[in-house]
Structure 1
Amino acid sequence: MLDPLELQVFPSCYNCISWSEDGEIAVATGEYVQVLTPTPPSKREANGNASHFSSTDWHTTRFRANVFTVSEWPIMFPQPRDRFSVGAEQSMSTVVGVAWSSPGLARYRRSVLAVLTSNMVLSIYALIGTQGKWTRIAIVNKALESHFREDVGNDTPRSPKSNVRSFTWTPPLKIPTENLLLSGPESRWGIALLAVTNDDNDMVFLKVQPPAVQDASLDTLRVEAVYSVSLPVKYDHIVQPGSVFASALQSGVRTLSLASGPWLYHSQQSEVNDDGPLSATLNVAGIQETKLRVVKLNFELEPLMDVSGNEPSYNLLFNAVENTAFPIQDIGDFHLTGPIHWAHKIGSDRMSIAVGGVAGLALINLPAHIYSGQNVEDGDTDSHYYPMVENSMYGIERTGQGHYGRISGMTVAADPDTEAQILHFGTVGGYAAIKPLANGTEIDAPTQAPWNYQVEEVRERFDIDRDLGGLAVSRIWGLSSTHGLMAAAVTLHPGDMVEYRTNAEDRVTIVFSTASGQPVHPESVPFLRGNPTNSIEFIRERRDVVLQYILGTANDNGAKRTLSSKVLYAAACCAIVQSQNAELLSNARGFLERLAATSGVDVTDEVAKCYAPGSTIDAKSADELNAPSADIFEKCEVCDTGIAWYSAQEAQCATGHVFVRCSLTGLVIQEPGISKFCSKCDREYIDEDLITLSPANDTQQACKSLSDVFDTCIYCNGRFRP
């Protein structure tokens, strides 16, 4: 079971919690961000509690987010009214928003964390170094300053154009594998985009790219604006639109509560030309004043001709406009406050958008052609507004209790079994409900959330401990979901008195549930369960896939031919020791024969054993290790003796020193501190960024090339950690 988790902190904003695909939970807690990382399954299995996940199985760390250097946040003295925000400039820069990106931006293809503070600075954090220190690696405001350089005056260090009011990550823009223009990380992890709004109600889309070379001590993201669109304020609740009063009201309206919809890919390829341009559409919705505004971002990949060297063979084109086809008028009479959440089932031609309002929830179900900006047809959309009413029984009479607190958290979790999309939301008054999202008409009203019983259990304990006589109340501060799971951040308060609380009494409880509201079993969670199987057949099969790729590069005359002879020799020896695949052994024999013919190195014993799978390879003698071109053979750095091949997991030299082999390359790991580990199965790999400690530069390049292709664990697909 995944037990509720209690933290000695207090939330500093609504939507205070974010859950990454790697299982890391970030909570906004005033000046700090609390990060919870699940213990690797291998360590829990060693402790004998693999089927139970308690609070001790979370690694808790925090970092301070309101400390800036002068270059990051210049000192700004009082400015004219249009440029100076007293609240932002004099605030403690507390955290007002956190959100994880999709995987692929940080080191080891992990997620980065975007943190918005009350001084309107949006920072991006990632784990840096082997000690796992959270470090600010980018500031989005600098990209906004560069994008609006002509509109930003030189007489002030900041302007409304560079102040970030709200933000949201978009889903990764993935290029289909059948398109041959992209064959790198953009196909597997996608292109990361960040949508932000500023004080001038501009919505800006920024592309976030990982650095070209990742270093253990320094890691910076490249953030650049790709397109912006202005959203002029439409204030319809005033009598005289051109009055001074109207101008004062309009100047205070901001676009907040951003949420990104999914990417819809459009096929523009013809039967004659299979390399036609690739295009996609995405919508981002926000709340401006009390109205919904939707911006459509169009993407097109343009192939380039006559490309030479390492230059990209494509060009990314973006264009953003307001989506006027969106049926905003269907919910125009409702007072919307946010948050917003989109829901879309893969393969379906319809999607839903849920928007929080005063004492209710607005839900719009629309087809894909409206999402793409085409004209609206009668009957295409279904719009409903559900009041937040909790039904209860008093004797034989059924009554309804209305809730008027704003929605403070909203998320959509997909049931892994039925793939049904279920909307979860909660209010500051403790009202929690769910709403299944179908492709048809949404008529059924929301029902009480099944996970609310966990909140009630925590509330009752709080009530009994403080003798409140049943008057304790709970408040929901945020919801987040991943892999079909849902997490809710809840605080408890006395309901019959003025609350006095010191920092020592700060508490927030995180409760977990499945999409359907059932308790969470760790063995059903991808990042909580270990390797699905450790059988010899499974390990051998996965190794054969990697070895086939490595040895296949020896016969490849294209760009893949970058591996060193040392890595290729290790792959051939690994195939001899472990593999039973005749084709793989034939490739190993072919490489060894070519190696002997070109370099003159003696590999007669290895070639002979290619006909006898499962054989062992003896350690080389001193004369063989000192022969020309003998650098492909492994030598113990402790005693300078040869290392035998008898296993693909470990190695031993002639005098008995034992080492671990890299799970990807098969090379011996002899130096301390150059390894990375799988966060799920704890297998050890050579860290391609730390192997610079070794003088073998060709081996370093080979490890980098292989790590670009196999950037997750080859056995369990888990991401790496230092």
Structure 2
Amino acid sequence: MFDMTHRIVLPFWPTALDCVDWSGNNQLAVAGGENVAVLSPSFREAASDGSHWTSIVFEANAFTANELPRQAPLSFPSFSLGEEISTWQVQRVKWSSPGIARYGGCLLAVLTSNHALSLWECEGKPDLLRSWKRKIVLNDSLRKHYGYSRAIPEDSDSEASARQRCAQQVSLRIKSFCWSPHQDQSQGDSHIVLSSVAHTETHLLAVSTEGGDICILRLTPPVGQPEEGWSSKVVCTFEAGPDGAAGEGEELTWRGWNSHESCRQSTLSYIHNGNLHHVVIRYTDAGENASDFKVQRLTAQGFGTSTGSLRGPLRYLGNHMLLTSPFDCMTITSIPTLDQPPGVVQESRYDLGERWDPVSGAVPSQTPPWKQAIAESKATFSAEHNLDGHVQERTWGIAASPSGDCIATCITLHPSDAVANIVPHVQKCLLLLSPCDSNIFYALQNPTAQEGKLFCPPVAEDLYFNRLQHPGNQPKQWADSCVSLIRSFAPISKDFSDGKDPVLLAESVRTKLYFETNIAKARFEVLAAMFKKDRRSISEKHHVILQGLMGQVSALASLDLHQGALGTRMAQCYAVLSDKLHAGETDEAASSASNQEVCTICGQEIPMESIKWGRCSGGHQFPRCAVTMLPIGDPKSSKSCRICATRYLDTTQVPELQQDTYQSDSQARGGDSAEATSDKSSVASEPRSSLVRIMLAACDTCVLCGGRFGA
């Protein structure tokens, strides 16, 4: 059997288990020592090792005094090795749901051994070190919530003040965390809208403190003013232990959201003193205030093999079962509900063969593809160092891709019969990327995976990336299979109603543009042609997609929506484009619609020559937004497709689109929003029902090839 495993060498040793996480946007994060490595897919050229991955390593433990105030050593009962003596090594990394960060990406949460939890965002190209920035340290949000002062009180030498300072510092130490899960819109819930719109649920983060509290934080992104930075506030707090029992919550994990009566609810599970606990979290309205949230504790589960001996990791297997790890076995436990009698919980036990080592990770897979990869890596290591097969591997973490077609395993290799003297600068670990099957449809169409919703519904970019790594399939067969798979996840298509709700209109447009058979097939045939570098075929398929775009714009225009300046310009561009396509012309002379686009440099008219670029008679050339057809004069106000590099307007950077977005007004920083927009008062905000807003919200991936967006 031909081995398709990619082996990527990373320049560090991991320092904690469960060190690998795979984002919904198909990026990998690996924690090791003081560093974090981020691997991103490369669609345009393969790396030197033959893989289509680019990697960047950045230092994650260097905090400024403003980010993390220095603290005097505490007394022995409150002493923390990680906080006061360690080098603040990275202990855990977890990606958020897609759609929170810029370009619809994911935020990366990094927990270091000094109990500080920070959030990182990619502001540009992911393979550039300068693109990765720390945005916020969440410990400060806990400080504000508890009302603690950063300043050391004048009577700090007194015994009472010292005890108070110790208690405060302990309550700010974060021990565990988890992101609120992403709710996919394909499940047909009326509360869920586009994945490109940042929702309440994807902006929630749960943290457990050493003081015994579990806090739910809500994140707020910068709106129109990136220099303002991210902010967060605690919207819900409860004790980890029942009836005031001491001890902190460990291994937090969050179940998917669902609608219940007039609210949204979810279950948060965690380990407390070796036992499994569940709480139901509910919120009403927009979930912006503490009064919107309610917490109800389910009956503590303390029986059977799980009694008092649970360790991490915890993993939800769909919406009904939870994977736990007692001392020498794995268990699969059913999740209790509010209407279920106490003690009625199903549990299955799987023995680990008297292995007492802690579990470093768990992923669903029918076959273990990493076994052969590890065996071959051990053989190579033995040959390189003349060890005669005396090699011991250690697995630090394991993660599955969003679509379940690949497993990432992080290992280190060591001599098994000798002491290895290795200095830090030559330490390295191996990240093994092992395909479960060369066919991505294998995992997604697995009945068990579908029933448990173990993997994300596919997007065109993931299917294309799978083809880049396994190029054996015939292009037409591959495109037809992709269309069939995409259609199986399609939501119900609805025609425009008499209502003018922009969210519902955008969802209807998205369903038609991304799931209708002829448009979806044309999009995958574009990807197949890109793989073969067949430019003529690409142009023909673009015409089919363009006709679909024009049909949706025409249907929206017939609703007589309230338009702003951008919406009016967009309608004019489509009118010119429609005249050209119907007349078969290659210049603007035959157009009955007037072209209003002018060069921002010289004021000359910009004719409609291409859906990807525009050029004035003075020779100035601009990229053109492939959805709105508007020329993009400022490169900073655009984003690009990660596959075909087509440019699009970035709604977070265009002044007319920064305010009154699909998120609620109170989410735009409250009282700070007026000050943030005071310097842009001369720019008229585009209405919520504008043609531009609806089309850009609907197209959350590249409309021409299905790629995700980036810098």
> Given the two structures, how large is their TM-score scaled by the length of structure 1?
0.71
On the 8 A contact 1:171/1:192 being kept in 2, the answer is: no
Distance 2:307 2:191 in 1: 48
State yes or no: 1:719 paired with 2:708: yes
Task: Determine the structure 1 residue equivalent to 2:210.
Answer: 199
Question: 5 Å matches for 1:171-182?
Answer: 171-172=181-182, 179=190
Of the candidates 260, 277, 294, which is equivalent to residue 278 of structure 2? 294
**Post-superposition shift, 1:662?**
1.9
Distance 1:377 1:234 in 2: 17
Task: Determine the structure 1 residue equivalent to 2:232.
Answer: 223
**Post-superposition shift, 1:75?**
1.4
SS in 1 for 2:362: strand
The one-character-per-residue Cα deviations of 1:201-222 (angstroms, maximum 9, x if unpaired) are 211111223232253xx36223
On the 8 A contact 1:167/1:196 being kept in 2, the answer is: yes
| 1:172/1:192 CA distance change after superposition, 3 Å | farther
Distance 2:212 2:33 in 1: 26
State yes or no: 1:490 paired with 2:411: yes
Task: Determine the structure 2 residue equivalent to 1:279.
Answer: 264
Question: 5 Å matches for 1:292-691?
Answer: 292-301=276-285, 317-324=292-299, 327-333=301-307, 335-344=309-318, 351-366=320-335, 370=336, 372-376=337-341, 381-389=345-353, 402-412=354-364, 422=365, 449-481=368-400, 482-484=402-404, 485-514=406-435, 525=463, 527-528=465-466, 532-534=524-526, 535=538, 538-550=541-553, 556=559, 563-578=566-581, 612-618=582-588, 633-636=596-599, 641-654=604-617, 659-669=622-632, 674-690=637-653
Distance 2:605 2:144 in 1: 57
SS in 2 for 1:492: strand
**Post-superposition shift, 1:561?**
5.3
Give the letter for the 1:261 counterpart. R
On the 8 A contact 1:567/1:699 being kept in 2, the answer is: no
Task: Determine the structure 2 residue equivalent to 1:8.
Answer: 11
Distance 1:720 1:97 in 2: 27
Distance 1:711 1:8 in 2: 35
Q: Which runs of 5+ in 2 are unaligned?
A: 154-164, 443-459, 469-522, 527-537, 658-679
Specify which structure has the higher proportion of helix.
Answer: 2
Task: Determine the structure 1 residue equivalent to 2:39.
Answer: 36
Task: Determine the structure 1 residue equivalent to 2:673.
Answer: none
**Post-superposition shift, 1:327?**
4.1
Task: Determine the structure 2 residue equivalent to 1:394.
Answer: none
**Post-superposition shift, 1:332?**
3.8
Give the letter for the 1:533 counterpart. E
Question: 5 Å matches for 1:94-109?
Answer: 94-109=89-104
SS in 2 for 1:408: coil
Distance 1:257 1:213 in 2: 36
| 1:651/1:71 CA distance change after superposition, 3 Å | closer
Give the letter for the 2:53 counterpart. W
Distance 1:464 1:520 in 2: 37
The one-character-per-residue Cα deviations of 1:283-323 (angstroms, maximum 9, x if unpaired) are 222222322222222233489xxxxxxxx9x9982212322
| 1:294/1:517 CA distance change after superposition, 3 Å | farther
Give the letter for the 1:664 counterpart. V
The one-character-per-residue Cα deviations of 1:347-394 (angstroms, maximum 9, x if unpaired) are xxxx2111123222122135xxx2x3222378x5431322212xxxxx
**Post-superposition shift, 1:565?**
2.9
SS in 1 for 2:12: coil
Give the letter for the 2:232 counterpart. V
On the 8 A contact 2:302/2:308 being kept in 1, the answer is: no
On the 8 A contact 1:104/1:189 being kept in 2, the answer is: no
Specify which structure has the higher proportion of strand.
Answer: 1
Q: Which runs of 5+ in 1 are unaligned?
A: 236-249, 269-276, 304-311, 346-350, 390-401, 413-421, 423-435, 437-447, 579-611
Question: 5 Å matches for 1:98-247?
Answer: 98-128=93-123, 133-149=131-147, 155=153, 156=165, 159-172=169-182, 179=190, 190-213=201-224, 215=226, 218=227, 220-232=229-241
On the 8 A contact 1:514/1:520 being kept in 2, the answer is: no
**Post-superposition shift, 1:107?**
0.5
| 1:36/1:672 CA distance change after superposition, 3 Å | same
Task: Determine the structure 2 residue equivalent to 1:426.
Answer: none
State yes or no: 1:58 paired with 2:33: no
On the 8 A contact 2:236/2:290 being kept in 1, the answer is: no
**Post-superposition shift, 1:86?**
4.3
| 1:177/1:549 CA distance change after superposition, 3 Å | farther
| 1:675/1:562 CA distance change after superposition, 3 Å | closer
The one-character-per-residue Cα deviations of 1:244-286 (angstroms, maximum 9, x if unpaired) are xxxxxx97x43222222222433x3xxxxxxxx2432x22222
**Post-superposition shift, 1:459?**
0.7
Which is further off, 121-130 or 513-522? 513-522
**Post-superposition shift, 1:642?**
3.2
Task: Determine the structure 1 residue equivalent to 2:251.
Answer: 257
**Post-superposition shift, 1:197?**
0.3
| 1:152/1:7 CA distance change after superposition, 3 Å | closer
Identity, in percent, stands at 24
The one-character-per-residue Cα deviations of 1:656-675 (angstroms, maximum 9, x if unpaired) are 66554221221234555554
On the 8 A contact 2:99/2:198 being kept in 1, the answer is: no
Give the letter for the 2:211 counterpart. D
Distance 2:422 2:285 in 1: 55
Distance 1:518 1:502 in 2: 42
**Post-superposition shift, 1:516?**
7.0
| 1:691/1:87 CA distance change after superposition, 3 Å | closer
| 1:149/1:139 CA distance change after superposition, 3 Å | same
Distance 2:389 2:706 in 1: 48
SS in 1 for 2:83: helix
Task: Determine the structure 1 residue equivalent to 2:699.
Answer: 710
Distance 2:327 2:48 in 1: 38
Kindly report the root-mean-square deviation, in angstroms, between the aligned alpha carbons of the 2 structures.
4.1
| 1:513/1:328 CA distance change after superposition, 3 Å | farther
Give the letter for the 2:202 counterpart. I
Q: Looking at CA atoms only, which structure, 1 or 2, has the larger radius of gyration?
A: 1
**Post-superposition shift, 1:715?**
2.6
On the 8 A contact 2:391/2:416 being kept in 1, the answer is: yes
The one-character-per-residue Cα deviations of 1:108-130 (angstroms, maximum 9, x if unpaired) are 11000000011111000001257
Task: Determine the structure 1 residue equivalent to 2:487.
Answer: none
**Post-superposition shift, 1:464?**
1.7
| 1:672/1:383 CA distance change after superposition, 3 Å | closer
On the 8 A contact 2:612/2:646 being kept in 1, the answer is: no
Distance 1:574 1:259 in 2: 50
Give the letter for the 1:353 counterpart. L
Distance 1:693 1:539 in 2: 29
Give the letter for the 1:147 counterpart. H
**Post-superposition shift, 1:490?**
0.9
Task: Determine the structure 2 residue equivalent to 1:238.
Answer: none
On the 8 A contact 1:662/1:668 being kept in 2, the answer is: yes
Give the letter for the 2:302 counterpart. I
Give the letter for the 2:236 counterpart. Y
Task: Determine the structure 1 residue equivalent to 2:674.
Answer: none
Which is further off, 172-181 or 707-716? 172-181
**Post-superposition shift, 1:30?**
1.1
The one-character-per-residue Cα deviations of 1:55-87 (angstroms, maximum 9, x if unpaired) are 553222122211112221111112345554344
| 1:532/1:53 CA distance change after superposition, 3 Å | farther
SS in 2 for 1:4: strand
Give the letter for the 1:227 counterpart. C
SS in 2 for 1:147: helix
Of the candidates 63, 67, 71, which is equivalent to residue 68 of structure 1? 63
> Given the two structures, how large is their TM-score scaled by the length of structure 2?
0.72
Distance 1:342 1:103 in 2: 19
Which is further off, 679-688 or 452-461? 679-688
Distance 2:636 2:210 in 1: 46
